[in-house]
Amino acid sequence: QVQLQESGPGLVKPSETLSLTCTVSGGSINGYYWSWVRQPPGKGLEYIGNIYYTGGTNYNPALRSRVAISLDRSRNQFSLKLSSLTAADTAVYYCARREERGFDPWGQGTLVTVSS
């Protein structure tokens, strides 16, 4: 059974770059799309972007100028970088596998707070 686990710093300063990694276990990263979604405290879900196992990416237009998603097939991991952070980027960040049916499964999520 495929499981995903996010990792990265829980606190980042304004104007800096957030870096998160999602480790995929119980299955291969090959053959699938892999996604990032975030959720500000008390608010709804926001799609950030996804990456195909061959490296092609798709980003939310609202975040495109600040986002980069990459993957490391040898480590079965994919990563998110979000630059020029502000308090509005404070959120729980989820990684998920994107299938034709939807996003399944999801990681448990990691809270990132942007504060000095």
Q: What residue ranges bind another protein (CB under 8 A)?
A: 35, 37, 44-47, 50, 58, 60-61, 94, 96, 98, 100-104, 106-109
CA distance 64 to 109: 21
Identify which of residues 16 and 46 has a Cβ nearer to another protein in the complex: 46
Q: Supply the minimum distance, in Å, between the C-beta of residue 82 and another protein.
A: 17
Identify which of residues 17 and 23 has a Cβ nearer to another protein in the complex: 23
- Where are any strands of DSSP class E within the chain? 3-7, 11-12, 18-25, 33-39, 46-52, 57-59, 67-72, 77-82, 91-99, 102-106, 110-114
Identify which of residues 65 and 74 has a Cβ nearer to another protein in the complex: 65
